[in-house]
A = this chain, B = another copy of it.
Amino acid sequence: MLMTQKLVITPWEIKGAVMGVDYEKLMKQFGADPLTPAVLDRLKKHTGDDLHVLLRRKFFVSHRDLSWVLDQYERGNKFYLYTGRGPSGPMHLGHLLPFTLCKWLQDKFGCELWLQISDDEKFFSKSDLSLESAQKWGQENILDIIALGFDPKKTKIFIDTKNAKTMYPQAVRVAKHLNLSTAKAVFGFTGETNVGLAFYTAMQSVLAFLPSVLAGKNVPCLVPLGLDQDPHFRVTRDIMPKLGYHKPAVLHCKFLSGLGEGGKMSASIPHSAIYLSDTPKQVEEKIKKHAFSGGQKTLEEQRKKGANPDIDVSYQWLQAFFEPDDDKIVQVYNDYGSGKMLTSELKQYLIEKVNAFLAHHQKEREKARSKVDKFLWID
């Protein structure tokens, strides 16, 4: 559990505004290493061209043992990727970004992606979510993930409540090494926490070593994940050596800001997120109405003083992902900051980028329906 001045972060709760998060401080609290230019350059040596925008722009911000994964890779010991999705509702843009990095890494390194759909976790952590709903959202979310273009021959999707035959006996091995004191300390559990959630970290650990179990040798694992999931993997990393496996390496990404002021995403602000199923019109309306602006109150003032891009959600979205061209994003920053570009123009710029992305995504998502079976793990 992490608390910064404005922010509460656990794997089940992110409260407060995420735009002003002091990631440097978080990294130190976590004991994670920053993604330094040196590490990124080393990665670039293998990816052959420019780094993915999410790495270049530091949306992925820190790591554990990435250098070790590259050591192993350079010695011919290929790593696989492991990430997951807790299905409690429709996916929004923020959810998708880490998967787009996985897709890029799969393409560049030819590596496998092992993917967990933790319907059990979401059922445990959300009092009003039925197991059937979590399972249904799992099926829906899988379509969004497959739509990104993963290689079905190299991607294995596990659903906790469907693949328990494979997962539970492995989770059991982890669970023996995690006691209630540690679970409480790491996750801030209370007496009210249900025993399912206490056990769940063991389920989440499984794909960090299952490929090693099946291969009969240690296979390095790299986990791109949201910072909020780090507590699970701190536990996993402690336990893996006790079972004879390598610690999984971790690559942390930041939170994509919501549309509200300070990047706030909240269930009480239904328009704080753009869902992957949103129509072009909905996207336009949400961004126009709800994307918090760093611009001035009047057109005249904006022309005169310029905007503050650093607190502007539309700019943040372009910067993080939607405008991958480095020259263009610098120009947007300068034009918007100087008053040459108006808020309405910036928003239009983002609307077009997001709608182009979603148009492609939604088409691929439809195609994904017929491909699902190729991705699902069969026990």
Contact = CB atoms under 8 A, between A and B. Distances in A.
Contacts of A199: 175, 195-196, 198-199
A194 B169 contact: no
B175 A180 contact: no
Interface in A198-220: 198-199, 201-202
A176 interface: yes
A123 B172 contact: yes
A191 B165 contact: no
Given A164-B168, A180-B198, A198-B198, 18 more contacts: A120-B168, A120-B172, A131-B169, A131-B172, A131-B173, A164-B165, A175-B194, A175-B199, A176-B196, A178-B194, A179-B195, A180-B189, A180-B190, A195-B195, A195-B198, A195-B201, A196-B199, A199-B199
Nearest to A129: B176
Most buried by B among A162, A163, A181, A191: A191
A194 B242 CA distance: 15
Interface of A: 120, 123-124, 131, 160-165, 167-169, 172-173, 175-181, 183-184, 189-196, 198-199, 201-202, 379
B168 A195 contact: no
Contact of A168 (B161, B177, B184): B161
Given A165-B165, A168-B161, A168-B168, A194 B179 contact: yes
Contact of A124 (B124, B164, B165, B175): B175
Nearest to A169: B161
Contacts of A162: 165, 169
A40 B323 CA distance: 79
Contacts of A196: 172, 175-176, 178, 199, 202
B164 A191 contact: no
Contacts of A124: 172, 175-176
